[in-house]
Structure 1
Amino acid sequence: MNEETSIGRVISSLVEKNYNVIVVDDFSTDKTAGIARTCGATVLCNIKNLGAWRSTQAGIRYAHKLDADVVITMDADGQHNDTDLQTMIDAYAKGADVVIGSCTSRGSAGRHVAWRLFKLLNGLKVNDITSGFRLYNREAIHVLVSRQATMLEYQCVGILLMLRNLRLKIVEVPVKMHERTDGISRIFYSWGSVFYYLAYSGLLSVSKAFPVKKYAYLNKIKH
């Protein structure tokens, strides 16, 4: 959403490396969609603002329809480095279902405290919970396009718990991330949004901490 200052650079670099790029324009009010198309991306335009996770899910669903083996999600603001993509792909090739590009040096002290609290409550063995730089394989994609995943607000704690509880193998690889140079966070844009995120993720951490039966759940998704 409103990433016209960075989207062209991000997409051009990916296209040069022969990646197929899908951009979900979350009802932006600037030139993001037009620039993305010009640079060679497939652009999906939301008719209203759906938020970060549901927009990401829309892109994953489109890739699922294209029968993609792997989907990698990344931010349009230039924080993520496409030079780290091969490292993530290598981890997937070694048997990971989900690969997270992890940069634990970023973020405020408060964010790190929240990460530790959530991990204590839910037992996730993931250090960078809020990283949107992720690789999903076919099985993970199948889970993320489900109606159950649509009910979640964010792609961090809830999605990770869903994938963990279905026994998918989640690994982290270290990456470097740039500081945001323009725009604001889609989650931490005000104190109200921060408190809502903390309450929502804390509740999920408590209620979703126990594993579910993987194959019964996947069978429901398929039907």
Structure 2
Amino acid sequence: MIEHRCEKVLVVMPAHNEEAAVGAVVRGVLAHKIADVLVVDDKSHDATAEAARRAGARVFRLPIHLGAWGAMQTGLRYALRHGYRYVVTMDADGQHLPSTLPHLLSPVMAGRADVAVGSCVERVSQARRLAWRVLRRLSGLGIEDLTSGFRAYNQKALEILASPAATLLDYQDMGVFLLLSKMGCSVLEVDVPMQTRLNGHSRIFNTWGCVLWYLLYSGTLCMSKTRHFSLFTSNGRYTP
């Protein structure tokens, strides 16, 4: 069993217009009593922040809309600044089940990996399968569920992803995994169930136009990975 008092775990939820779902997700996490919750409100136009706060989360409201990765990195930096040893990132729309948190955290807290990715390939659409197949071939990465935002990070991974180098990224998948690989982090996939999101839709896979843009952006990162990542800071670490 994971003991929160000894291990300081923070769940980071980026949220944009998630008033309908975020409260239930926060309450589900807090019910397990293994982690604190930080909701990073990415300049929502609804009552996302209020719903999250009423459910028991700490809330950080961004003054401008940064997108999912920008909001997530804000949470990672908060975690380092406040002494958390582990962070779990999860969506605020209800896809990720709080009951699977101990399962996801276990290999990271046991030292078997620096990063654990909650993987659920059964949920994917045809567009997503095509994108993953192309990007795995281009990048050489063996990760099956490339776009899952349900992840657990240890402090080594946190310092890398909170660094200015990671601020250059737009999405949470290919660039993040390539940077982690470059800096020597081990990544392990953990099979978890997921459910249909309670609110909203995928930013990447909403239309074929979004898919094509995502493939162009991520494919460029993959093909230029050696030169691109040699420009990163020497140790890839963030100092709060």
| Alignment-derived partner of residue 191 in structure 2 | 174
Q: Following the alignment from structure 1 to structure 2, what is the Cα–Cα distance between the partners of residues 20 and 204?
A: 34
Q: 1:165 aligns with which of 182, 191, 206?
A: 182
Query: Per-residue displacement from partner, 1:171-199 (whole Å, max 9, x unpaired)?
Result: 00000111123212233344433222110
**Letter of the 2:65 counterpart:** N
d(CA) in 2 for partners of 1:57 and 1:42?
Answer: 16
Determine the structure 1 residue equivalent to 2:17.
Answer: 2
Sort the Cα spacing of 1:219 and 1:123 in 2 relative to 1 into closer, same or farther, 3 A. Answer: closer
User: What is the match of residue 77 of structure 1?
Assistant: 93
Q: Is the 8 A contact 2:159 2:237 kept in 1?
A: no
Asked whether the 8 Å contact 1:161–1:209 carries over to 2, the reply is no
In structure 2, which of residues 213, 219, 223 is the aligned counterpart of residue 196 of structure 1?
213
Q: CA deviation at 1:169?
A: 0.7
**What is the one-letter code of the residue matched to 1:142?**
E
Shift of 1:167: 1.3
Kept after mapping to 2: 8 A contact 1:121/1:209: no
Question: Separation in 2 of the partners of 1:186 and 1:212?
Answer: 25
TM-score, length-normalised on structure 1?
0.93
Root mean square deviation, CA, Å:
2.0
Consecutive unaligned residues in structure 2, runs of 5 or more: 1-15
Q: Which runs of 5+ in 1 are unaligned?
A: none
Counterpart AA for 2:17: N
Q: Once superposed, which parts of structure 1, at least 4 consecutive aligned residues long, lie more than 4 Å away?
A: 209-213, 219-223
2:145 partner SS:
coil
* Correspondence 1:41-80 to 2 at 5 A: 41-80=57-96
Kindly provide the CA deviation profile for residues 140-171 of structure 1, in whole angstroms up to 9, marking residues without a partner as x: 00001111100000010000110011111100
Residues 73-120 of structure 1: CA distance to partner in whole angstroms, max 9, x if unpaired?
000000001111111121111421000000011121121121111111
Distance, in Å, in 1 between the alignment partners of 2:174 and 2:123 is: 18
Aligned residues: 221
Under a length normalisation based on structure 2, what TM-score does the superposition of the two structures give? 0.86
TM alignment of 1:105-120, pairs within 5 A: 105-120=122-137
Contact residue 123 and residue 209 of structure 1 kept, 8 A: no
